[in-house]
């Protein structure tokens, strides 16, 4: 998520089915990364540690993308 940007997550409740709306809300929040960010913000993270973590996440994303690309090409 971008720094300082609050994503708007909206869920409609149909037929007074609050349980289903809660499940949908949790799933959307999970996809947006809200829970992950809340967990990270519990404690202060030094800038050097944050930089290393973000770099490792970027490498992980890139490798996953390459794996998927090779899988689609059939190599």
Interval 48-74 mean pLDDT: 95
In this structure, the answer to whether residues 28 and 50 fall within a common structural domain is no
Spatial separation of the C-alpha atoms in residues 28 and 19, rounded to whole Å: 14
* pLDDT for residue 26: 94
Share of the chain above pLDDT 90, in %: 73
What mean pLDDT do residues 35-64 have?
Answer: 95
- Cite the DSSP H helix spans in 1-75: 18-32, 34-40, 47-73
Residue of 12, 33, 30 lying closest to 21 (CA atoms) = 12
Residues 38 and 58 in one domain: no
Residue of 43, 26, 44 lying closest to 35 (CA atoms): 26
For residue 36, being part of any structural domain is answered with yes
Shared domain check, 75 and 57: yes
Distance of alpha carbon 20 from alpha carbon 11, whole angstroms: 10
- Domain range for 19 is 14-43
- Number of domains composing the chain: 2
């Amino acid at each position: 998520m971008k720094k300082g940007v609050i994503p708007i997550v909206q869920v409609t409740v149909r037929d007074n089915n609050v349980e289903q709306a809660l499940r949908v809300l949790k799933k959307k929040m999970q996809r947006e990364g809200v829970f992950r960010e809340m967990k990270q913000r519990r404690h202060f993270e030094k800038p050097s540690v944050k930089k290393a973590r973000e770099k490792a996440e970027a490498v992980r994303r890139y490798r996953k993308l390459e794996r998927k690309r090779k899988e689609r090409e059939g190599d």
